[in-house]
Chain A
Amino acid sequence: MRRVFAAVISCVVLWAGTPALALGQVAPPPRPSASAPQGAGTVRGTVVTGDDAAPQPLAGATVRVTVMPAGPPLGMFQPFSATTTADGTGRFEFTGVPAGVLSFMAEKTGYYNTGDGSDAGVQIELAMRRPTLEPGATLSDVSVRMSRAGVITGRVLLPSGEPAVRMMIEVLRQSSTPMGRRLVPAGRGSGGPTMTDDTGTFRAFGLPPGEYFLSARQNTMMMGPPGGRDDTRDGVATTYYPGTASVADAKPVAVRSGEETSGLVVSMLAARLSSVSGTVRVPAGLDPATLSVGISEIVPERLGSSMSMQRVQADRSFTVSRLTPGRYRLIARDQNGPVARHFASAEVEVTGEPLDGIVLDLRPGTAVTGRVVSTSGDPVPGSPAMRLQFTRADVDMMVPAPLPVAVNADGTFRVEGLFTKGHIRLFDGGPAANGAGWTFVGARLGDRDITDTPLEPEGEVMQVTLVVSTRPADVTGTVKWTPAPGAARPRVVVFPEDERRWHPQSIGVRVVPVGEDGRFAMRRLPPGERYLAVAVEGVTQADLWTTGVLAALKSAALPLRLDEGSVVNLTLTAVPPPAP
C-alpha cells in the first residue's frame, strides 16, 4: 500500500521558505569565522522578571545575544550570535563577542520577552534595549527582562457536540503590516499551531498578554493519493471562536500575564467538502517528476497561509480533496534546487462541488542582467560581497523568489527566476564594518528610474543598470531626551522629503536606535539634497509605514543635506510619538 506524504508548511511574513520534501535535519549554514576577531569583548548580565521597580532574577532561561554592525544595511551574511543558559541566580556570560550593537533574546517556558516600553498592547518586536559594545570591552549589568506569559485552553466540538479530535488550532493576533491590519500567528513561544486531543482539548501557551483570536480547522487538505480519490463530502469549516466562519465575527480572547484563560468552547461549523483537480501544462523537456503543486487558502484578513504541496503525477494530473468552501491559490513549480525555473498559478473558488479541468500553465521566469556603474557612469567592479537581491513588493510567499547573486568582477550580473514584481537592490554582504565604502543609490530600466518602483517581469530577459555611490554619506550625532523608567530609548529616523520615496523598500529611509549615551551613527547613506532627520520616541521601524506617521514626523524634522563623502554631525532633541 502506498501512502501519501503531504508537506504542510506555514508561511509567515518573515519566512522565504522553499517547501522541502526531503527528510533529515540540515545543519545550520557555516558562520563566518568566530575565532576571536580583534576586539572580542565580554558581556555579562542577568535575566529578570517582575516589576521594573523591583526586578527579580529568573533562573534557567536560555539567552541569545546577536551582534549587528553599527554600519551599513544588512546583507546575506549571518550576524554573530551565541547562546548560553543563565544559572540559578539568573546570571549569564558571553565571551568572544565582537563589537557592535547588541540585542538579547531570552527563552523560558511560561515567559515571554518584555520589549521596550510597557506591557500595554501586544508586543510586535522582540527587540530589547540595545547597548553598544566597543571592541574588546566588557559590558556588565545587562538586564534581560521576561514576563510571565498567559495560556488559553478550551475544547473544540463538532457540529454534533462530540469532541473534535485532532483539529488544528491557531492563535492569531492583530498586527500592523505594510498591507494594513492583518491577523498573524501569535509568537513562537507557544510552539506554533497546536492540535486538539481525544477529548477535543487544546492548550496554547507562552502568550504575551493581549487579545487573541482562535481558529480551528481540519488537520489538512488532502493531496490526491496516486490513483486514488477522496470522496469525503461532509466536513467542518475553518471556524473562529466562538463558532463563526467569518473572521469579522470572531470574538477576541483576553490573555493576562501569568494567567490561564480557560473553559473556551469552539463549536465548529459543518461544511461541504469538495475537490479540485486538473493538469499541469509542462514545457517540452521537463520531467513531471520534478514538479510540485501547492495549494493555499486565501483569507484576506489573515497574513501567512498554510500551504500543502505534493508532487505532480506522472500523467501531469493533480487532485486536492477535502477542501472547505473558500478561495484558494494553486501553484505549480519545478523543484530543481532552491531556484524555480518554471512557475504557474491560478485562483479557484471552491463552493462545495468538485472542480475539474484546472490547467496550470508552467512558464519560465524572467532573467535580469545588467551592470553596475557609479554615479558618474563609470563601471564599478563587483565582488562576492556585492550582492543583488529582489525585495518583494507584495508579500506573496507562494511565488518563488530568485536567489541573491553576487556581481561579477567586471561589474556585470545575471539573476534568474523572477516571477513576480520586486524592487531590485544591491547590498553589501561582506563581513561587518569593513571599508568597502559603497552604497546602492538607484536602478534604471532603459531610461526609466525604477529605484522606487518594483520591476515587473516581462519576457525572457530584461536589462537593468544599477548605480552605486562610491562616496556615501554618514550621519552621526547625539540625541537629547528625558529617559523615563521602562521607556525605550528614542530612534533616529532619516528619510527623503520626496513622498514618493516613502515605502518599506525605500533605500532613502533609515532608522537606528540611540545608544545608552545618546549617541547614534548611520553609515553609508545615499547622498542627496533633500533629506529630513528626526529623533522620535516610541516608534519602531514597522510603525513608520502606518499611514500618516512619516507625514507627522516631517513637521518635526530637521532638513538635511547629504553631500557625497560627507560626515554630518547632528544634535537632535527627541520628540514624542505622533498621535494616532
Chain B
Amino acid sequence: MTFACRAALTVAAVLLTSSALTAQPAGQRTPPRMIQPGQQAPVGTAVLRGVVVAADTGAPIRRAQVRASAPGAQETRTTLTDEQGRFELRELAGGRYTITATKGGFITLQYGQRRPSEPGTPVDLAAGQTLEKLVVGLPRGSVITGRIVDEFGEPLTGAQVRVLRYGYAAGARRLLPAGQSDRTDDQGTFRVFGLPPGEYVVSATLNEDRGGAFRPRGGNADDEPATGYAPTYFPGTTNAGDAQRVTVGLGQEVSGIGFGLSLMPLAKVSGRVVGLAGLELAGMVMALPDDMVRQAMSPPRGAPVNADGTFELRGLAPGRYTLVVGGRGRRGGGEEPTGRASVAVSGVDLTGITIGLAPPAVVRGVVVTDTGAVGLRSAQVRVSFTPAQPAVADAFRNRGGGINSDFTFELGGITEPGYLRVTPPPGWFLKHILHDGRNVTDEPLVVEAGAQLTGVRVVLTQTASGVSGSVRDDRGNAVLDATVVVFPDDERQWVFQSRFIRTARPDTSGRFEIAGLPAGDDYRVVALQGLEDGQATDPVFLASLRERSERLSLAEGEAKALELRFRQ
C-alpha cells in the first residue's frame, strides 16, 4: 500500500477512534431476534447517528448514502446524509450492525474499515440504545480514463469498459469486477471513478445489442456476423493473464489508458438436444463462458431450441463454454429436465453438438433435533442445495427454501454435485447431516440424474461450540483493527464454504464472537491484520498461517473465551 494511501486511511482511523461512542460493556448484549416470515418486524427504538466526511479534508459529504444492516435482526436501513453530512437512523431494533457509506467519486467504505476489500467493524447496538457521533471518513476515489478504438483506430462508441482487480471469490484468487462499469461515448472515451487505490486490469467489450457495432460481413440475411469484438484487456490482449496492470494511488486520476478492440472470428455452434421421449423440448440453450470475468462482462448468448430439438447458437467468441439447457430459466419448475455440454470454440463453426437431457435429481429428508426436543418451528428452518462448482454461474439455479410443516423436505432440480446448506433459527446449530448412517455434512452429495436420494437426516442441536474474546497487543491494550481466523488443521477441509473456517472482527467494544463452530480438537486460531474478503478460504494462504497460529480445541457445546495476542 502506498504511503499516501496509508496516510489517508490513518486519518480515517484517527477520526474513528477519536469519536465519543457510548459503547456498552460486553455482557449486556441482546441476542439477535428472529422475524418469522410474513410477520411485521416490531419497531425498535434504537438510534444511530453520525456524519460522513471526506477522509482527506474532514469536510462533510452531502447526499452520501448510509446503509445500516443487521442480518440477524433482519434490519436493513438506508438514508442519505443532509447538508451537513449528517445522518440519523431511528426506530432500529437492537443488533450487530454493519454501517456502509457510499458517495459517487469516493470509495465506498464500511464503518471501521481500514483497507480496501476488508470488512469494517460491526457496531453493537442494544435495544433502545442511542449511538451518536459515528464518523465514517471516505477517501476520494481514484479514476481511470482513456479511449477505446476499433481496428481502424476510430473511436468505438458504446463499448462496455469494466475495471477488474484480483480478489478472492469461490475459494480462489480471481479477477473480479471492481467499481461501476462505463460505456464509451462518441469519442470512445470512458471514465471509471470511485476506485480504491490498487492494481487493476482494464477490460473492454462490445455487446452486439449496442448500436449494431459488431461487424457483419456480407448482406445476406442468413449471414450472421462472422467477426466481432471479443473482450480485450489493456493494453490490447484478449488474454487476461497477459494484461498490463494499471496502478492507481489514493485519489489519483490515471488517464491515457487507451487500447483497441480486436476483431475475432465468431463461430456458430449447432447441434441437437436429445430429450427423454415424450417430453416437451421448450426452452433455450444458453452458452455460459467458463471464465468468470467474461461472465460478468456480457450477458450470456442464447438460442431457442426448435421443435425437433435442434439449436443454433451464433456469434460465439473463442473460449470455453458450458451449454446449458433447462426449460424456462430461473423461475422454471425444478422438475424440468436439464442438460449441459462443454465446448471449446476457436473461431470455427461447430456442428453436431449433442446435449443430453436428463431429469434432475431429488433429495429428500427430514430435519430432526439431537435430543428430540421440541420448540423448533419448521417455518424457521431453511434447507437448500448449493452446487459444489460455483465458478460457473448457472442460469438455472437450484431452488431451496423452507421445509414442510412435518419437518420433511424435498429439494428438486439438482443437476450436479453440491452441498446441503442448512440455515437453522437463532439459538440452533447444525450438528450433522446423515445419510445411510454416514456423516455427509461436509461432503458433496452426488446424485445420479433422475435419481432420488432419500433418507437424509439433518440433525440440529442447541448446543454448539464457539469462541469469543478480545484481541490484545503486547501492552495489553485491546486491538480493534484485527481479524480473527479460525480454521481446521486438516487441509481437506480447506474448501469454499467450509463450516470449519470462520472469521470475525472485534466490535466497537473490542469483543469478537464466532458462534456455531462444530466441535473439534484440531483447530487453529490466529489474529491478524489486513485480511482480504474471502482470503481465508485460499488454501495457499491458510498454509502460510499455520506457523503463526495457536492450537485450539473445542468440545461439544463449549463456548471458549480467548484472549488472542496480536503481533504486528
Binding site for B on A (CB under 8 A): 1-2, 22-27, 30-31, 34-35, 43, 60, 62-65, 80-85, 92-97, 107, 109-110, 149, 151, 158, 160, 162-163, 165-166, 188-189, 191, 194, 197-199, 203, 205-206, 222, 225-236, 314-315, 321
Contact = CB atoms under 8 A, between A and B. Distances in A.
Contacts of B303: 27
Interface stretch (B209-217, B352-360, B505-513): B209-217
Contacts of B103: 165
B437 interface: no
Contacts of B193: 197-198
A107 B211 contact: yes
Contacts of A63: 219
Interface stretch (B71-79, B363-371, B384-392): B71-79
B299 interface: yes
B69 A1 contact: yes
Interface string B37-51: 111110000000000
Given A107-B211, A229-B77, A24 B90 contact: no
A312 B534 CA distance: 33
A315 B40 contact: yes
A85 B215 contact: yes
B284 interface: yes
Contacts of B211: 107, 188-189, 191
A22 B35 contact: no
B212 A228 contact: no
A83 B141 CA distance: 42
Nearest to B207: A25
A23 B299 contact: yes
Contact of B62 (A96, A158, A222): A158
Contacts of A321: 78
B221 interface: yes
B504 interface: no
Contacts of A228: 69, 75-78
B221 A82 contact: yes
> Nearest 7 CB-CB pairs, A to B?
A165-B104, A94-B219, A228-B76, A198-B105, A84-B219, A34-B221, A205-B186
Contacts of A26: 284, 302
B77 A191 contact: no
A198 B194 contact: yes
Nearest to A111: B186
Nearest to A236: B63
| Secondary structure call for the B interface | loop
B191 interface: yes
B335 interface: no
A314 B186 contact: no
B219 A231 contact: no
A205 B155 CA distance: 13
A62 B212 contact: yes
Given A203-B185, A314-B37, A22 B219 contact: no
B222 A24 contact: no
B177 to A, nearest CB: 15
B369 to A, nearest CB: 26
Contact of B154 (A23, A43, A60, A62): A60
Q: Which of A25, A30, A35, A199 has the most CB of B within 10 A?
A: A25
Contact of B302 (A24, A95, A233): A24
Contacts of A107: 211-212
A227 B75 contact: yes
Nearest to A96: B220
B330 A83 contact: no
Nearest to A107: B212
B143 interface: yes
A235 B76 CA distance: 20
A232 B217 contact: no
Given A1-B69, A85-B215, A232 B79 contact: yes
Interface string B74-86: 1111111011000
A226 B71 CA distance: 11
Interface in B278-312: 284, 286, 298-304, 306
Interface size class of B (residues with CB under 8 A): 35 or more
B395 interface: yes
Contacts of B146: none
B350 interface: no
Q: Which of A34, A231, A314 has the most CB of B within 10 A?
A: A231
Contacts of A165: 103-105
A25 B299 contact: yes
A188 B141 CA distance: 32
A227 B76 contact: yes
Nearest to A197: B191
Nearest to B313: A27
B302 A84 contact: no
Contact of B90 (A158, A225, A231): A231
A22 B331 contact: yes
Nearest to A23: B299
Given A22-B331, A24-B329, A95-B218, A160 B83 contact: yes
B158 interface: yes
A334 to B, nearest CB: 13
A315 B395 CA distance: 28
A227 B219 contact: no
Contacts of B83: 160, 234
A314 B220 contact: no
A93 B119 CA distance: 58
Contacts of B300: 24-25
25 contacts: A1-B69, A23-B330, A24-B286, A24-B299, A24-B300, A25-B299, A27-B304, A34-B220, A34-B221, A82-B219, A84-B217, A84-B218, A94-B220, A158-B63, A189-B211, A191-B185, A197-B191, A197-B193, A198-B105, A198-B191, A227-B75, A231-B77, A234-B63, A235-B63, A315-B38
A203 B185 CA distance: 8
Contacts of A23: 299, 330, 395
B80 A232 contact: yes
B114 interface: no
Contact of A225 (B76, B301, B306): B76
Given A151-B186, A165-B105, A234-B63, 20 more contacts: A24-B395, A65-B219, A83-B212, A84-B217, A92-B219, A97-B219, A109-B155, A110-B186, A165-B104, A166-B104, A198-B141, A203-B185, A225-B76, A226-B76, A227-B74, A228-B77, A233-B82, A234-B80, A236-B63, A315-B39
A314 B74 CA distance: 15
A36 to B, nearest CB: 9
Contacts of B152: 60
A222 B35 contact: no
B157 interface: yes
Contacts of A203: 185-186
A569 B211 CA distance: 43
Given A22-B331, A25-B302, A62 B80 contact: no
B186 A206 contact: yes
A96 B221 contact: yes
A82 B217 contact: no
B440 interface: no
A22 B82 contact: no
B183 interface: yes
B220 A27 contact: no
Contact of B78 (A34, A225, A235, A315): A225
Interface in B136-188: 141, 143, 152, 154-158, 183, 185-186
Contacts of A110: 186
